[in-house]
Structure 1
Amino acid sequence: MAAKTNAGWFFEDYSIGQVIHHGVPRTLSGGERAMYHALYPARHAIYSSDAFARNCGLAEAPLDDLIAFHTVFGKTVPDISLNAVANLGYAEGRFLKPVHAGDTLVSRSEVVGLKQNSNGKTGVVWVRTTGENQLGDVVLEYVRWVMVRKRDVDAPAPKTVMPDLAAALNPDHLVIPEGLDFSGYNYGQSGEPHRLGDYEIGERIDHVDGVTIEEAEHMLATRMWQNTAKVHFDATAREDGRRLIYGGHIISMARALSFNGLANAAMIVGLNAGAHANPCFSGDTVKAWSEVLDIAQTVAPGVGAIRLRLVAQRVGAETFSLKGEDGKYLPDVLLDLDYWALMPV
């Protein structure tokens, strides 16, 4: 009898130019927003209030940008990272259109890079993933690369192809949501008075608060995004018998913690780079800090752009620490994320 179950893709299953259409379409609702705000201390006003969003030129409050990211990402897991050893990085991510309750999202990925590792047991796969809504509008695109196991260690290595990826998005390539206007931005309601001119390149911000990661919450979040990676649920999938916390859970936690000091970094529009520097496990207490990398103007009224490095680390590590003298991430650094956000000028 032919097997009907899916054991996932292995390194030798991928080829350059291959396009993978991922199942299953997902219609989002206000339920995802409520659950997201229950899981994370998310308080950015433009995602919390229709009235606030209308004052900013939008028809209603869109869903949090990372809801769109996790939904699009989760669709790719059965085909891209079910047999992954590690999710290594992100680049060239652009949020192209706000996602609203009632939108249905689908994902597809194109293989843009392959490189077998020297051990012959694993290889790195680069994919460019695109998320579309029910109208065929692209809402999100990004490149990520993962280390994937080989099914057969004797399978021949493919020709090495490594994509040429931009170190950061040019601010001119950021897409501003249609109608967005921060000229009448309500700082009293947003939670903080700080605007773009209050920040300086090189400035570092300690976001102060911490959250202890719980096993049940991270598994609930990962299931919500329909992420099926074994290492997040099955304690036998790792030699140490521990469930690995989904990296997206740490991204959302750090972004939510960054509200304290960056409340008006209102919308994420670009993802320049990202690394899950070290694994996170239940019981770890996570804190976050940010560094201002760049500042830019946009053509939208009252809207500027701020480029931020967001770092999540375990409590106990020295604040603003990142890498050692050897250039490697320090062991308590969990996330290093470089992104563009929109902020009132």
Structure 2
Amino acid sequence: MAKTNAGRFFEDYAVGRRIDHAVPRSVSGGERALYHALYPARHAVYSSDQFAQSCGLAASPIDDLAAFHVVFGKTVPDVSLNAVANLGYAEGRWLRPVWPGDTLRASSEVIGVKQNSNGKTGVVWVRTRGMNQRDETVLEYVRWVMVRKGDIAAPAPATVVPELRPVVAPQDLVIPEGLDFTGYDFSLAGEPHRWGDYEVGETIDHVDGVTIEEAEHMMATRLWQNTAKVHFDATFRPDGQRLIYGGHVISMARALSFNGLANAQMIVGLNAGAHANPCFAGDTIRAWSEVVDKAELAAPGVGALRLRLVATRGGAPFALRAADGAYLPEVLLDLDYWVLCPL
């Protein structure tokens, strides 16, 4: 009896199937230190216990995207080990802060499948939930991924394409218990810009750039225990290149967005996302944002900004698509998300 696992292929997925992912992981301040070493992450709520406590939290939580990466990494051996590419996200919500000492695990449900016309690959949609040691859901999201078929002759499953909400409604955003920005210290946070200073339609060039290093990407992907072959095995792609984990691009772009959005403190919603083009070591990531929407919330001093975050490897800022509607080749990431910002 074989004891190794080659991973699931497209024909192995069925709508309605639930997958409980191994292995639970306890997080600590080490995750924060490594996250801040890998990315120029400086948002104050995630950097300082004292600042977080001044905003009504018990302490500084683990960075929202670090928690996302831990949960995402749990799913890779069961969802995307044999993936060609991770395609997109929707309906993401951060429901509870993750604290040092919490133990995270993940579970996914297959909600859609569609074989591609070439008969060699198919798209799989899953809804993933990350839970802590108290079985509380800390975050949830939908993602879809293109997966190879193991047997080209295997019959295609019946196509099911899920209907997904284009945006998480502001009333469905969950504000961390106790969060209060009425005494927010803009000087310590790094910028004076508050919720009211941003206008819908405004675009922000984040100016700075970071060149992706192979070693840092390998460290990050191992940190999140992401085992997808395209990130590690240089023989897996015809061009012999290892694909940079899309989450690495997300975190780098989010960190770069500090310059202009230092007070966009906590990510609470993920509306949509696309990895528009592959990223490889040697690419220099730059980022720009567009303010898509704004919402007032019930928590004292807290508002929500809906932002479009675009990561590129060159080209003019604010350029996104060609005349035919396709993403420009220099666009790496197009992410639509909600953040909490002081009023």
The TM-score bracket by the shorter chain reads over 0.9
1:42 aligns with 2:30: no
2:158 is aligned to 159
SS in structure 2 of the partner of residue 334 of structure 1: strand
Q: CA deviation at 1:154?
A: 1.1
Q: 1:168-207 residue pairs with structure 2 within 5 A?
A: 168-207=167-206
Alpha-carbon displacement from aligned partner over 1:171-191 (angstroms, at most 9, x marks no partner): 000000000000000001000
Could you tell me which amino acid in structure 1 is paired with residue 333 of structure 2? L
1:291 is aligned to 290
Distance 1:115 1:175 in 2: 32
Distance 1:117 1:209 in 2: 38
Q: 1:1-345 residue pairs with structure 2 within 5 A?
A: 2-315=1-314, 317-345=315-343
Q: CA deviation at 1:233?
A: 1.1
Alpha-carbon displacement from aligned partner over 1:21-58 (angstroms, at most 9, x marks no partner): 00000000000000000000000000000000000000
SS in structure 1 of the partner of residue 191 of structure 2: coil
Q: CA deviation at 1:169?
A: 0.6
SS in structure 2 of the partner of residue 343 of structure 1: strand
Q: CA deviation at 1:121?
A: 0.8
Distance 2:4 2:226 in 1: 17
Alpha-carbon displacement from aligned partner over 1:250-285 (angstroms, at most 9, x marks no partner): 000000000000000000000000000000011111
Alpha-carbon displacement from aligned partner over 1:129-180 (angstroms, at most 9, x marks no partner): 0000000110000000001111111111111111110000100000000000
Q: CA deviation at 1:234?
A: 1.1
SS in structure 1 of the partner of residue 71 of structure 2: helix
Q: CA deviation at 1:125?
A: 0.3
- With normalisation by structure 2, the TM-score equals 1.00
Distance 1:285 1:159 in 2: 41
Distance 2:4 2:289 in 1: 43
Count, aligned residues: 343
**Counterpart contact for 2:168–2:269, Cα < 8 Å:** yes
SS in structure 2 of the partner of residue 31 of structure 1: helix
SS in structure 2 of the partner of residue 88 of structure 1: strand
**Counterpart contact for 2:268–2:340, Cα < 8 Å:** yes
Distance 1:13 1:184 in 2: 53
Q: CA deviation at 1:223?
A: 0.2
SS in structure 2 of the partner of residue 223 of structure 1: helix
Distance 2:160 2:282 in 1: 39
Q: CA deviation at 1:221?
A: 0.1
Over the residues paired in the alignment, what is the CA RMSD in angstroms? Answer: 0.5
Task: State which drifts further: 149-158 or 173-182.
Answer: 149-158
Alpha-carbon displacement from aligned partner over 1:45-84 (angstroms, at most 9, x marks no partner): 0000000000000010001000110000000000000001
SS in structure 1 of the partner of residue 34 of structure 2: helix
Distance 1:153 1:237 in 2: 18
Large movers: runs of 4+ above 4 Å: none
SS in structure 2 of the partner of residue 339 of structure 1: strand
Q: Percent identity, please.
A: 74
Structure 2 gap segments, 5+ residues each: none
Structure 1 gap segments, 5+ residues each: none
Distance 2:202 2:126 in 1: 33
